[in-house]
Chains A and B, each alone.
Chain A
């Protein structure tokens, strides 16, 4: 009897592993295919898709790099870094004010800022185009910086605020008694205590800004200000017959965020879970 249960248990365990590993292959194989195709020649790509390249050459990666990917990468890094800094600072400021300072109409202010979470970017698209055109910021780096910040402040404030609410207030109060101004209390005491959630929000914002497409496509039609997602599409339309180059470009765009995820996994999971769970 016991051995029969044990036997069934082993079978169940094997089936479970078989299923989970198959799923892992379904996820990973296409990604490896993309990476490897960047090393193939064009004719090899039209041959057996499961075959490895006859010899590994970085030619296509180099071509992709020289045909714009280096520029897209630079723009992406610039937009990502600046909008991350802006978003996290503005959000941390707001979160501090909403949790530590007695603000007139505090509830309404909280509601207004967090309410932005509910609104879809596509709804604001047409008016935003008109607004940025009249400001002369259409087709510029500034448009993306401002939009990525404005549309992510609600979510980021939400996360930091929830974290600050759970922190003991006595510490900042003691600091103020000691004659520290609010400003010093914020920088020296509250912000350092918020480090874990700040790391989470930074990483989540990087993932967002690196991958965003709707705004990037609409607001940066010209060359020189295109981020990677938009740049890849123009690489595709310009060199769409040189498939290895396109695959190489895709791989270059994907690798940084995949690495970032593995390095910061713990913080990303925590940020996502808090964002949904609270």
Chain B
């Protein structure tokens, strides 16, 4: 009996963390499902149970589908640039002979990831600005006047412009992580490949790529999960406009709740984000577990 109570006392170590996570992470999550079944006006305080009506509304909402599409676009482009592009880049940097230069290059590429997305987003808001922006002046400078645009003001260019900024901001982060993974590969394998006369391109495909597969998998999951949580840069650069063309799930959730005062609907969008991110996390755990069994 005393042994048991002593054992229970051990829980005290975990209690602060459990309470914080329980109250502010898990509880709201559960509550969110409840809210998504309400028609809820936060100013008048009126709440009415409407069942799954908010989810029905989602299906019929073109902006919801547009948002989801933009999140998918984000994921696809980011996987191309921030996973595979960064992997190639990390391998290229390894081709530089001086280790000090390798470190310096990786550090420089990382700077945009250290500054906030708000600063990066604002910076590119100005870079894309039609009159004073760098981008249009650059095009003019090389004689491509015809390509000038109000990049963030036109429906056809706004989303690509935001996604491009995000690649600029994030590629150094994944390059750094791939560099760590590549450096964990035993040098002897590369030396053996070099002695066999294997060129750098083949070395990349036959040595580097298979040996960083694990990291690549994790990075793909992280990238997809991040792509479905995009909020900051869109909010800063366009706020979802023009005409909702750059809306993503996060900004549409915010706008539905906090601007249009339809919190039940916002909660329904949150549920969609939850389902997508949870599915990715479960997939990641499943892959990690299978890997462990193989070993």
Confirm or deny: B258 has a beta carbon within 8 angstroms of a beta carbon on chain A: yes
Q: How many residues of A contact B (CB 8 A)?
A: 88
Given contacts A49-B133, A131-B28, contact A104 B11 (CB under 8 A): yes
Complex: chain A residue closest to B16, CB-CB: A90
**A23 contacts B by Cβ under 8 Å:** yes
Chain B CB within 10 Å, residue with most, of A20, A23, A31, A125:
A125
Q: List 12 A-B contacts (CB under 8 A).
A: A27-B111, A27-B112, A31-B123, A45-B132, A94-B16, A120-B273, A123-B273, A123-B277, A150-B20, A213-B231, A214-B250, A254-B116
A52 interfacial by beta-carbon distance below 8 Å: no
B249 vs chain A, min Cβ distance (A): 8
CB nearest to A47 among chain B residues? B132
Whether B195 sits at the interface, judged by CB under 8 Å, is no
Contact, CB under 8 Å: A232 / B11: no
In the complex, what distance in Å separates the CA atom of A273 from the CA atom of B29? 29
11 other contacts beyond A93-B13, A123-B32, with CB at 8 A cut-off?
A: A94-B18, A103-B11, A103-B13, A109-B14, A112-B18, A119-B26, A124-B28, A130-B42, A151-B24, A157-B17, A276-B219
Residue of A nearest to B221 (CB): A276
Nearest chain A residue, comparing its CB with the CB of B108:
A24
Asked if A94 meets B270 with Cβ closer than 8 Å, knowing A151-B25, A218-B258, the reply is: no
In the assembled complex, which residues on chain B have CB atoms less than 8 Å from the CB atom of A31? 111-112, 115, 123
Q: Across the interface, name the chain A residue whose C-beta is closest to B176.
A: A269
Asked if A147 CB lies within 8 Å of chain B CBs, one says yes
Closest CB in chain A relative to B253 CB, distance in Å: 6
Is A128 among interface residues, defined by CB-CB distance under 8 A?
yes
Q: Range of interface residues on chain B?
A: 35 or more
Q: Does B192 contact A (CB under 8 A)?
A: no
For the residues of B in contact with A, the DSSP-based class is helix
Given contact pairs A20-B93, A125-B253, A232 touches B119 in the complex (Cβ within 8 A): yes
User: Which A residues fall within an 8 A CB radius of B?
Assistant: 13, 16-17, 19-20, 23-24, 26-28, 30-31, 33-34, 37, 45-46, 48-50, 90-91, 93-94, 96-98, 101-104, 109, 112-113, 116-128, 130-131, 146-147, 149-151, 153-154, 157, 207, 210-214, 217-218, 228-230, 232-233, 236, 243, 246-247, 250, 253-254, 257-258, 260-262, 265, 269, 272-273, 276-277
Q: Which residue of B lies closest to A97 (CB)?
A: B13
Q: Which residues of B contact A254 (CB under 8 A)?
A: 115-116, 119
Taking the nearest CB of chain A, how far is it from the CB of B112, in angstroms? Answer: 6
Closest Cβ neighbor of A87 among chain B residues:
B20
Q: Which residues of B does A touch, CB under 8 Å?
A: 7-8, 10-14, 16-18, 20-29, 31-32, 35, 42, 89, 92-93, 95-96, 105, 107-112, 114-119, 122-124, 126-127, 131-134, 137, 168, 172-173, 176-177, 180-181, 215, 218-219, 222, 225, 228-229, 231-232, 235-236, 249-250, 253-254, 257-258, 263, 266-267, 270-271, 273-274, 277-278, 281
Would you call A273 and B180 a contact (CB within 8 A)?
yes
Q: Which chain A residue shows the least CB distance to B141?
A: A50
Please give, as numbers and ranges, the residues of chain A lying within 8 Å of B8 by CB-CB distance.
104
For B222, the chain A residues whose CB sits under 8 A away are: 276
- Please indicate the chain B residues that have their CB under 8 angstroms from the CB of A90 in the complex: 16-17, 20
In the complex, the answer to whether A257 meets B22 with C-beta atoms within 8 Å is no
User: What are the 7 A-B residue pairs with the smallest beta carbon separation, nearest first?
Assistant: A97-B13, A211-B116, A124-B28, A127-B28, A150-B24, A94-B17, A118-B281
Is the CB–CB distance between A122 and B231 below 8 Å? yes
Chain A: minimal CB distance from B31 (Å): 4
Given A33, A119, A214, which contacts B134 in the complex, CB threshold below 8 Å?
A: A33
Instruction: Please report the C-alpha to C-alpha distance between residue A17 and residue B22 in the assembled complex, in whole angstroms.
Output: 51
Residues of B within 8 A of A126 (CB): 28, 32, 35, 257, 263, 266-267, 270
Chain A residues, Cβ within 8 Å of B281? 117-118
Residue pair A27, B108 in contact (C-beta under 8 Å) = yes
Chain B residues near A146 (CB, 8 Å)?
20, 24
Question: A122 and B273 in contact (CB under 8 A), knowing A104-B8, A151-B25, A265-B107?
Answer: yes
Measured between beta carbons, the chain A residues less than 8 angstroms from B176 are 269, 272
Contacts of B22 in A (CB 8 A): 112
Q: Which residues of B contact A232 (CB under 8 A)?
A: 118-119, 122
Q: Which residues of B contact A214 (CB under 8 A)?
A: 231-232, 250
Are A147 and B273 in contact, CB atoms less than 8 angstroms apart? no
* B111 engages A261 (CB within 8 Å): yes
Hey, which chain B residues are within 8 Å of A261, CB to CB? 107, 110-111, 114
- Residues of A near B115 (CB, < 8 A) are 31, 211, 253-254, 257-258
- On chain A, the residues within 8 Å of B229 by CB distance are 120-122
Chain B residues with CB below 8 A from A276, complex form = 177, 215, 218-219, 222
Closest beta carbon of chain B to A85's beta carbon, Å? 13
